[in-house]
């Protein structure tokens, strides 16, 4: 499996000529290009930095084979498109090409009591090969080899991130959702959470456009 890191929370995963794009939001400049090449788009929740509604809606029209998976709110905003838009919730499983996907988690992490928490799901691919949690530190009840770890945003706390990595116990950690951090902030976060820090696991930062093997 190959993972390509896009800006903020968006990644592309490729295996056996199947491409999945997770969380193409408005803060990802090349989201349209990524979605245009995708067989399926997976959306963790409705916030704009994870879900560019206009982009995904246009892609569903332009690409008749495209499938989209997301929370009930995401699915309702797009419409059925002949059954190609799927509402998913924790406990669901589905396949796209040779990928298998298990859905974990229910709610977005709290930001403030005055701000409602939407539904948020995480996607665990290929029996734990990689997990994208969206905007939540929900621990899936399954082994995880590569964890995509959100490290910036109004809901994140580094102490909670450290406890999350410790609870998941992945073999590999890659930063996502880091757009609000400066270069110094990304480095400091990796130092605090990483191999010589709180988790004992290296925290990888991938430049936008970088592709790695998982």
pLDDT tens-digit map of 168-177: 999 999 999 9
Q: How many domains does the chain have?
A: 1
CB atoms within 10 A of CB 208: 14
pLDDT for res 49 = 98
* Cα separation values, 71 from 85, 99, 186, 190, 206, Å: 10, 19, 30, 31, 28
Q: What is the pTM of this model?
A: 0.97
d(Cα 85, Cα 83) in Å, to the nearest integer? 6
Q: How far is CA 118 from the centre of its chain?
A: 15
**Residue pLDDT, tens place only, 98-114:** 999 999 999 999 999 99
Work out the pLDDT band at 188, boundaries 50, 70, 90: very high
**pLDDT at 21 (0 to 100):** 99
CATH of the domain at 11: 3.60.15.10
Tokens, residue 143: 């082994």
pLDDT at position 110, please? 97
pLDDT of residue 208: 97
Q: Which residue range is the domain that position 128 belongs to?
A: 2-213
């Amino acid at each position: 499996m190959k993972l390509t890191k896009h800006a903020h929370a968006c990644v592309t995963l490729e295996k056996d000529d199947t491409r999945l794009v997770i969380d193409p939001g408005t803060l990802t400049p090349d989201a349209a290009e990524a979605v245009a090449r995708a067989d399926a788009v997976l959306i963790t929740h409705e916030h704009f930095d994870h879900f560019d509604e206009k982009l995904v809606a246009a892609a569903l029209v332009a690409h008749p084979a495209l499938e989209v998976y997301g929370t009930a709110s995401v699915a309702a905003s797009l419409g059925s498109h002949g059954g190609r838009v799927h509402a998913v919730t924790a406990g669901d499983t589905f396949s796209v090409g040779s990928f298998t996907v298990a859905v974990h988690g229910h709610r977005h992490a709290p930001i403030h009591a005055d701000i409602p928490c939407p539904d948020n799901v995480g996607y665990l691919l290929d029996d734990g090969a990689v997990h994208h949690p969206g905007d939540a530190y929900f621990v899936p009840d399954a082994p995880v080899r590569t964890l995509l770890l959100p490290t910036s945003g109004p809901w994140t706390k580094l102490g909670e991130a450290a406890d999350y990595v410790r609870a998941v116990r992945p073999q590999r950690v890659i930063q996502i959702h880091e757009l609000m951090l400066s270069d110094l902030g990304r480095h400091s976060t990796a130092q605090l959470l990483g191999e010589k820090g709180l988790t004992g696991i290296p925290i990888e930062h991938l430049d936008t456009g970088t592709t790695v093997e998982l």
